[in-house]
Structure 1
Amino acid sequence: MAIFPSNFLSRSQALAPDPVSLSKPRRTLAATGMNHALHDGYTDLIYVLLPVWQGEFALSYGLLAIMRGLYSVAMAGLQIPISHLAERIDGKILLALGTMVAALGYVLAGLSGSVVGLGLALLVSGAGASTQHPLASAAVSRAYGQAARGPLGIYNFSGDLGKATLPALTAMLLVIVSWRHALLLIALMGLLVALCLALLMPTVGKDFAQTSAVTTHGTNPGRGGFSWLLAIGILDSAVRMGFLTFLPFLLRDKGASLPTSGVALAMLFIGGAAGKFTCGWLGARIGTIRTVLLTEGGTAALIVAVLLLPLIPAIIVLPLLGVMLNGTSSVLYGTVSELTSPDRTERAFALFYTGTIGSGATAPVLYGLLGDSLGPTLATVATAATALAICPLALLLGSHLADGGRA
């Protein structure tokens, strides 16, 4: 005789949490974080190789800048087309393929025998890197839903880990092996990460756009403010890259030696990594607008402090300035999905990253021209003024958020 109704077990099983489904968000975050670390490391290890390539191919500084720019142009320019492709092909597959292509580019770079071959190899690697930011951010956003702000901050922070480790690893490899063999080993690392993505990352889904457009259309109260968010992201990136352009010269003028300047920059970057990690969670707790006002106001105040303080106190405040400089970005990334319908998540992240990366590439040139005209001190003051200009834009953004950004 059955003690329970025949359908009791099936109903209780349906109500019980599924350990596999509960692990999917964590697996998505782990896989995309590992991929982010690799790709950001791939991007910054080029700086380690520029002097090597100059000696190998007798390149001028202008050509070196072009070599660096080829990677960035391919990465930024293909993000929007990749986001459209993600509507037909599962994002997990595109991420794995993109990582394989990025690794293949470094294989080709290691085999190149001319400047033209090296440039083409960097274009290939940059094209593979174009998949990473928009698709991985969208995957984390969908995996965690309304609780995505903190995880997106962790995802953002993982890129800084790659920037810190992969260029350093490349520099150590260059002591042991030739740069060509070092790139082959770095490429092998990328192939292993691509394999891990293919095997371990949960499926993102290619039909999500069609289903979500039907089930959630009209339910997102934040739609309509994305242009303000993009404007804030562009200006925030400009502030960060503009200030970094002048910081070594400001430190030199205060009497810093090259090793001291290196330590100061390291302290700034450590603070930046901490800011990316913490401010995503802070935005989830006190709101987007309050966090942006805090970080941008703090950025402006601390930039002025660095200008006015003597060398040692200026270096002491650099970690906190790093938190403020980089912290805004995690809050902004976590807001992208709130301001767009789910069927356009990849496109929104692609547009956002294209704007911020493009701003990061052009801002040093514009602030540099300003520095030529007014001097580095006044040009640095202009970066602080730009940070303050973000504050009214943040207030305008608040009216488009579901909770007003809790301003």
Structure 2
Amino acid sequence: MTALNDNIALPQPQPAEASVRRRTLVAACSAHAVHDGMTDLIYVLLPIWQLQFGLSFAQVGLLRGAYSGVMASFQLLASRAAKRWGRTRLLVGGTALVGVAYLCVGLADGLPLLLLALMLGGLGASTQHPLASSMVSDTYEAGGGVKEALSQYNFSGDIGKMLIPALVGVLLTVISWRTSVTLMGLLGLASAALLGWLIAARGVPTAKVKKPVNAGTGSGSVSGLRALMLTGIVDSAVRMGFLTFLPFVLTSKGSGTAGIGLALALLFVGGAFGKLLCGYLGARIGMMKTVWLTESMTAFLIILVVYLPLTGVMVMLPLLGLALNGTSSVLYGVVPELSTPQKREHAFALFYTGTIGGGAIAPVLFGRLGDFTGIPVAVMTLAAILLLTLPLSWCVQRGLDRNALENQTEPT
């Protein structure tokens, strides 16, 4: 009878563990979708703010860069504060702060107040990437499937980028931009409440995980992580710079506000599927080959955006989104391979700080370039700079190979 009871009891922890993993992923994906959607909503609003407040392209870049810059600057502090205050409080509080920031944007009557409100939003957004991604990695490592879970997490971010800017693009045809951003602020507050419930309901995994075979511990992981950060910085800088200029390129081709919202939606639809596709492609053909393929395609398609008519650009945008955003999914998946479980949260914070920091500086620098040379030259300059990722990804691969060799020769 005892043996029978033992046999019946053995399978019971598996459904509970699967439920925790599932709820963790849902919570992280929800946070990523809301935060990324609210972040990229700025691209739809930039042309409106330029006209209303009489801004130069450099000031437009400053607005975009302020949000991303603050977000990048406080990510390391967020990862450290999580050890003291807990991931749940910071993640929920940060999401609520983004909502409050958009309520303040709706009340801004000039550049200074608008800038302060966006900086407040960036502060709240700084909690999401390092905490949610490390939460997914920690929960999934015991049972495997970290890369697949991170791909779904990255996919959800692009779903938010697709839905929220498109929704506001439609709203702008019937209500003012101030009312639209106020509604988005209320959405942020509601999302914070939902996120708190999801995290509280999912439980906290307490089982200790074994150190994975490919965890980064040696010189290969250090050099590889540095090269990975540089690759991510260049990729993010070009992506953010291009997204800042895209609404103005479309406007010059005759697009209206609703058309810009649709264009961003098409771009992010392609980007969402790109993150899923490139994650699996990277697992099959390797990180370096995937990066070379996606970055070369991105540079070529960015140049086409300058020369194609509006209809051609709209048709091509999903393919551009696939290549433009797909690279980041491959790069994110390498972070766990170049860090130990104990330092993973810090490694994610470092990586996101570098990539988002690069994305914050790019709009300001290239906005200035756009003021002097015009948008077409600035956009083509972005395409040329993107090719720097090709040699950098080769350095990342060397670090991965060296790290794998060191782990094979490490005594057990």
TM bucket (normalised to shorter chain) is 0.7 to 0.9
Q: What CA distance in whole angstroms lies between the structure 1 residues aligned with 2:352 and 2:233?
A: 9
Q: Give the Å deviation of 1:61.
A: 1.0
2:80 corresponds to which residue?
Answer: 84
Aligned-CA RMSD value = 3.9
SS at match of 1:220: coil
Q: What CA distance in whole angstroms lies between the structure 2 residues aligned with 1:179 and 1:318?
A: 25
SS at match of 2:83: coil
Q: What CA distance in whole angstroms lies between the structure 2 residues aligned with 1:373 and 1:170?
A: 31
- Residue 238 of structure 2 contacts residue 386 of structure 2 at CA under 8 Å; is this kept in 1? yes
Distance 1:38 1:314, change over 3 A: closer
Q: Give the Å deviation of 1:388.
A: 3.0
Partner amino acid for 1:59?
A: F
Task: Give a deviation string over 1:303-331, Cα, whole Å, max 9, x none.
Answer: 45666778766665443232111110011
- Select between 118-127 and 136-145 the one with higher mean Cα deviation: 118-127
1:105 corresponds to which residue?
Answer: 101
Give aligned-pair identity as a percent. 47
Residues 1:220 and 2:195 are matched in the alignment: no
Distance 1:44 1:13, change over 3 A: same
SS at match of 2:53: coil
- Select between 282-291 and 177-186 the one with higher mean Cα deviation: 177-186
Q: What CA distance in whole angstroms lies between the structure 1 residues aligned with 2:31 and 2:350?
A: 20
2:120 corresponds to which residue?
Answer: 124
Q: Give the Å deviation of 1:110.
A: 4.6
1:238 corresponds to which residue?
Answer: 237
Partner amino acid for 2:150?
A: L
- Residue 289 of structure 1 contacts residue 398 of structure 1 at CA under 8 Å; is this kept in 2? yes
Partner amino acid for 1:132?
A: Q
Instruction: Spell out the pairing of 1:170-181 with structure 2 (5 A cutoff).
Output: 170-173=168-171
Q: Give the Å deviation of 1:180.
A: 5.5
Instruction: Spell out the pairing of 1:279-318 with structure 2 (5 A cutoff).
Output: 279-303=278-302, 316-318=315-317
Partner amino acid for 2:385?
A: T
- Residue 65 of structure 2 contacts residue 364 of structure 2 at CA under 8 Å; is this kept in 1? no
Give TM-score, length-normalised by structure 2. Answer: 0.78
Q: Give the Å deviation of 1:234.
A: 0.9
1:319 corresponds to which residue?
Answer: 318
Distance 1:122 1:80, change over 3 A: same
2:400 corresponds to which residue?
Answer: 401
Q: What CA distance in whole angstroms lies between the structure 1 residues aligned with 2:212 and 2:282?
A: 26
- Residue 223 of structure 1 contacts residue 400 of structure 1 at CA under 8 Å; is this kept in 2? yes
Q: What CA distance in whole angstroms lies between the structure 1 residues aligned with 2:107 and 2:301?
A: 46
Distance 1:199 1:160, change over 3 A: same
Q: What CA distance in whole angstroms lies between the structure 2 residues aligned with 1:80 and 1:400?
A: 23
Q: What CA distance in whole angstroms lies between the structure 1 residues aligned with 2:249 and 2:38?
A: 29
Q: What CA distance in whole angstroms lies between the structure 1 residues aligned with 2:232 and 2:113?
A: 35
- Residue 76 of structure 1 contacts residue 130 of structure 1 at CA under 8 Å; is this kept in 2? yes
Segments of structure 2 that go 5 or more residues without pairing to the other structure are 405-412
Segments of structure 1 that go 5 or more residues without pairing to the other structure are none
Residues 1:61 and 2:55 are matched in the alignment: yes
Q: Give the Å deviation of 1:290.
A: 2.5
129, 132, 145: which one pairs with 1:133?
129
Partner amino acid for 2:28?
A: T
- Residue 234 of structure 1 contacts residue 356 of structure 1 at CA under 8 Å; is this kept in 2? yes
- Select between 24-33 and 282-291 the one with higher mean Cα deviation: 282-291
Q: Give the Å deviation of 1:119.
A: 4.5
SS at match of 1:86: helix
1:28 corresponds to which residue?
Answer: 24
Q: What CA distance in whole angstroms lies between the structure 1 residues aligned with 2:379 and 2:110?
A: 39
Task: Give a deviation string over 1:207-260, Cα, whole Å, max 9, x none.
Answer: 99xx77xx639962462211011011011123323445666777789xx43369
139, 143, 162: which one pairs with 1:143?
139
2:155 corresponds to which residue?
Answer: 157
Q: What CA distance in whole angstroms lies between the structure 2 residues aligned with 1:340 and 1:252?
A: 44
232, 255, 265: which one pairs with 1:258?
255
SS at match of 1:81: helix
Distance 1:327 1:42, change over 3 A: same
- Residue 248 of structure 1 contacts residue 261 of structure 1 at CA under 8 Å; is this kept in 2? no
Task: Give a deviation string over 1:325-378, Cα, whole Å, max 9, x none.
Answer: 111001111111221111222222222122112212323444456667777666
Q: What CA distance in whole angstroms lies between the structure 1 residues aligned with 2:44 and 2:249?
A: 23
Task: Give a deviation string over 1:66-105, Cα, whole Å, max 9, x none.
Answer: 5544433332221110011122333233211211222233
Task: Give a deviation string over 1:257-278, Cα, whole Å, max 9, x none.
Answer: 3369846665444322321232
1:19 corresponds to which residue?
Answer: 15
Q: Give the Å deviation of 1:294.
A: 2.0
Q: What CA distance in whole angstroms lies between the structure 2 residues aligned with 1:383 and 1:64?
A: 17
SS at match of 2:215: coil
SS at match of 2:84: coil
1:392 corresponds to which residue?
Answer: 391
- Residue 139 of structure 1 contacts residue 204 of structure 1 at CA under 8 Å; is this kept in 2? no
SS at match of 1:258: coil
SS at match of 1:88: helix
Distance 1:180 1:137, change over 3 A: same
Choose between structure 1 and 2 for higher RCO, CA contacts under 8 A separated by at least 6 residues.
2
Partner amino acid for 2:254?
A: S
